[in-house]
């Protein structure tokens, strides 16, 4: 083994060790104290200046470029929180915390960006300063806004991030200009009536019947009110009503999620939910209250930044593996908040292996192919340099 090969192997082993330690000790949103400790130790080892306690548990690190740490910066972002899921992977390094798991790959994201930090720290040819954001609470959808409010984007001209994706094989990097993630909002609908005896329905208003009609009616919003070419989802995930089989329920509560990639489609769905809920309540003589909990907007990549990401991907994995997004992704991602302030690009990084089942994100059996870790690290390192050169060139 040559010196270079040994260095690459050691680099890979360090990344795997960090990722496994983080996977074994997952922490929920705004509780990522041990995770922040581990990240901080690595940054100290690399001699990278950083600030802790940003947005509660976040970290902001700065790496000088062009012999300076002032002027426009390129930012890389990694999310660090886990999910409230009981792990069932059977891994030797499975979560030691009951009901908490890195089921969305944030352990991989953090490790790849930390690897990029190592490559950036020893690179004496950085054209522009690089800021690294280790962000808490992505799963709650509030971490990015908290980081922005804490000043994490101050001086940043462009930002990049990414997500592992089991739909693409390891060694593939997906770049796309335009929408790559959907907006994500939640809603709750409460239907109210007087309640009554199940044997005398004429004396009451059946909120369960009204709710069932509403569930069916809302399904027509996507299929009959929207252009089929506009990706959108309206899902009711919870329907709660009733206390006994011989009692007409006083209320029924429906809860669900709205996903869209176009802001006008998003607003149309919200308006339709209100309109159809009120009409159904009127038809069934019930009362209704609709609450919309506005979440994250759609992630829309800047074309110029997507072009930089594609160039970096081609340099690291080859042009044939730097591919475009082939299906609409309706998942939400609070990286969208950064893109409301600065230009940027969010990529998908393949982690699928052909010799195993590649479980979906947010599954209790989700895992990643660890061969992706140095690939992602080198991609983010190269992307930061390309972006820095574009800043240098004005």
Return the beta strands (E) in 39-98 as ranges: 49-54, 58-63, 73-79
- Listed by start position, the domains of the chain span 3-180+299-392, 183-296
CB 179 within 8 A of CB 261: yes
Instruction: Give 392's pLDDT tier (boundaries 50, 70, 90).
Output: confident
- Are the C-beta atoms of residues 129 and 50 closer than 8 Å to each other? no
Let me know if 195 is exposed, middle or buried by CB neighbors in 10 A (0-12, 13-18, 19+): middle
Tell the CATH superfamily of the 3-180+299-392 domain: Zn peptidases (3.40.630.10)
pLDDT band at 71 (very low <50, low <70, confident <90, very high): confident
Reported as a pLDDT band with limits 50, 70 and 90, residue 394 is confident
- What is the end-to-end Cα distance of the chain in Å, rounded? 43
Residue 66 clears pLDDT 80, i.e. is over it: no
DSSP3 helix / strand / coil % (the chain, rounded to 5): 35, 25, 35
For residue 32, pLDDT over 90 is answered with yes
Contact between 126 and 182 (Cβ < 8 Å): no
- pTM over the 0.85 mark: yes
User: Is domain 183-296 classified as CATH 3.30.70.360?
Assistant: yes
pLDDT over 80 at 69, yes or no: no
pLDDT(185) > 80: yes
pLDDT 10s digits, 245-299: 999 999 999 999 999 999 999 999 999 999 999 999 999 999 999 999 999 999 9
Task: Report residue 5's pLDDT band, with 50, 70 and 90 as the boundaries.
Answer: confident
Closest CA to 78 of 52, 41, 44, 115: 115
Band of residue 239 on the pLDDT scale cut at 50, 70, 90: very high
- CB atoms < 10 A from the CB of 389, how many? 14
Angstrom distance (rounded) from CA 106 to CA 83: 10
Q: What is the pLDDT of residue 4?
A: 82
Q: What is the pLDDT of residues 192-232, one digit of tens each?
A: 999 999 999 999 999 999 999 999 999 999 999 999 999 99
144 touches 297 (CB < 8 A): no
């Amino acid at each position: 083994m040559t010196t270079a090969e040994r260095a690459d192997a050691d680099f890979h082993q360090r990344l795997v060790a960090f990722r496994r330690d983080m996977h074994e000790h997952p922490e929920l949103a705004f509780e990522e104290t041990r995770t922040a400790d581990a990240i901080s130790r690595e940054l100290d080892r690399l001699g990278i200046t950083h600030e802790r306690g940003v947005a509660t548990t976040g970290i902001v690190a700065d790496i000088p470029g062009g012999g300076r740490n002032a002027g426009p910066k390129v930012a890389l972002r990694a999310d660090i929180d886990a999910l409230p899921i009981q792990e069932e992977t059977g891994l030797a390094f499975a979560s030691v915390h009951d009901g908490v798991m890195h089921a969305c790959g944030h352990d991989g994201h953090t490790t790849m960006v930390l690897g990029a930090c190592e490559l950036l720290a020893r690179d004496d040819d950085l054209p522009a300063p690089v800021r690294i954001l280790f962000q808490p609470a992505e799963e709650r959808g509030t971490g990015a806004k908290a980081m922005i409010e804490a000043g994490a984007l101050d001086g940043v001209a462009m930002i990049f991030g990414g997500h592992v994706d089991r739909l693409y094989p390891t060694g593939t990097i997906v770049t796309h200009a335009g929408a790559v993630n959907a907006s994500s909002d939640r809603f709750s609908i409460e239907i109210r009536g007087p309640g009554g005896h199940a044997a005398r329905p004429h004396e009451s208003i059946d909120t369960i019947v009204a709710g069932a009609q509403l569930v069916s009616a809302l399904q027509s919003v996507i299929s009959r009110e929207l252009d089929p070419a506009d990706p959108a989802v309206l899902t009711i995930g919870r329907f709660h009503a009733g206390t006994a089989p011989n009692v007409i329920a006083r209320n029924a509560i429906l809860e669900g999620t709205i996903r869209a990639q176009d802001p006008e489609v998003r607003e149309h769905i919200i308006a339709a939910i209100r309109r159809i809920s009120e009409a159904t309540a009127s038809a069934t003589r019930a009362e209704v209250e609709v609450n919309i909990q506005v979440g994250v907007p759609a992630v829309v990549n800047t074309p110029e930044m997507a072009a930089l990401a594609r160039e970096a991907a081609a340099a690291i994995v080859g042009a044939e593996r730097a591919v475009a997004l082939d299906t609409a992704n309706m998942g939400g991602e609070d990286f969208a908040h950064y893109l409301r302030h600065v230009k940027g690009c969010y990529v998908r990084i393949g982690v699928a292996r052909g010799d195993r089942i590649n479980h979906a994100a947010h599954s209790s059996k989700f895992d990643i192919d660890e061969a992706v870790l140095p690939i992602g690290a080198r991609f983010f390192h190269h992307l930061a340099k390309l972006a820095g050169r574009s800043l240098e060139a004005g």
